[in-house]
Amino acid sequence: MPGLLAGKSALVTGAASGIGRATALLFAREGARVTLSDLPGEALESAAAAVADAGGEAQAVAADVTREDEVATLVERAVARFGRLDCAFNNAGVAPRSVGAAGQRIGEMSRDSWDALLAINLTGVWLCMKHELAAMERQGGGAIVNTASIGGLVGLPRSNAYVVSKHAVIGLTRSAAIDYAEAGIRVNAVCPGYVETPMIGESMARRGEQILGTVPMHRLGRPEEIAEAVAWLCSDRAGFVTGAAQVVDGGYTAV
Ligand SMILES: NC(=O)c1ccc[n+]([C@@H]2O[C@H](COP(=O)([O-])OP(=O)(O)OC[C@H]3O[C@@H](n4cnc5c(N)ncnc54)[C@H](O)[C@@H]3O)[C@@H](O)[C@H]2O)c1
């Protein structure tokens, strides 16, 4: 049976780790040729090598999603290598801890932390969309999935900038879905619950039982379980789905 994404050219940001890495691998297994992107480093190269080892066609292109020149080059290189860009998964993101804001409420947080988090989680997605949408419009269609979070749908404690960024990603997704529907471009978001990646390692170590107590399935998601939803949303099988915020959270937001 041909793969879900057979013959498609796909781009994944945050592809060196966690959800992005698992999605790049699944995209390749489903027949896509994949451009993996992340900050420069060994982890990005090894993720691309893992795709190639599994028989996929892949290239690694380092880019900081907060830098428009680097994002523009990333999209250009995906198109140059594989002839077009059919699918894009805008997934790079950070938790408050990465910008020095772990456990902080608004009154305790610095302006620098706020700016740094929004630059990656929100402006980074906007920049990627800007260049991907232009490329997809030129070729007559495509599909984009942005990584939001359960924090894009409900509040989370001591995560104000993160929650704002993920609510905004859903807003961006919906407005782009409307603006680009006639161009044949579908734009959706995926909203993972707590997923077993390096991003939540420290929180799990500190208060794992408390976190699991909020999840009806009483376990963490696996990155591969998020990847399945993303691959489907990117595929032609989701042809009438646009502007959606697909929850994959073990029941967290059902409570
Ligand atoms: N793990 C969870 O529980 C969870 C839950 C909901 C949403 N998410 C979201 O899923 C996405 C992926 O997170 P993950 O859990 O796989 O974490 P992760 O830390 O394993 O992966 C995130 C990747 O993004 C990259 N990145 C960070 N800043 C970047 C930048 N400026 N430019 C390019 N790449 C950058 C990192 O290098 C890293 O490889 C994030 O957007 C995160 O907010 C995660």
pLDDT (average), residues 217-233: 98
Residue 86 in any domain: the answer is yes
User: In ligand 1, which atom is closest to the CA atom of 41?
Assistant: 37
Order across the sheet with 87-90: list the strands.
57-60, 33-37, 9-13, 87-90, 142-147, 185-192, 245-248
Q: Is 20 in the pocket of ligand 1 (CB under 6 A)?
A: yes
Given this model, what pLDDT does residue 224 score?
A: 98
Total count of domains within the chain = 1
Q: What is the CATH number of the domain that holds 200?
A: 3.40.50.720
Q: What angle do CA 113, 130, 22 make, to 5 degrees?
A: 70
Q: Above 80 in pLDDT, residue 7?
A: yes
Q: How many residues does the chain have?
A: 255
Q: Is 165 in the pocket of ligand 1 (CB under 6 A)?
A: no
Given this model, what pLDDT does residue 1 score?
A: 63
What SS3 state is found at 13? Answer: strand
Q: Is 146 in the pocket of ligand 1 (CB under 6 A)?
A: no
Q: For the segment 147-183, what is each residue's pLDDT rounded down to a tens digit?
A: 999 999 999 999 999 999 999 999 999 999 999 999 9
Residue 2 in any domain: the answer is no
Residue 254 in any domain: the answer is no
Q: Which residue segment(s) compose the domain that 90 sits in?
A: 9-248
The residue to mutate among 127, 131, 191, 197, having the most atoms of ligand 1 within 8 angstroms of its beta carbon, is: 197
Q: Are 186 and 144 in contact (CB under 8 A)?
A: yes
- The span from the CA of 194 to the CA of 203, in Å, is 10
Q: Above 70 in pLDDT, residue 195?
A: yes
Residue 42 in any domain: the answer is yes
E-only strand ranges, the chain? 9-13, 33-37, 57-60, 87-90, 142-147, 185-192, 245-248
Which of the residues are catalytic? 162
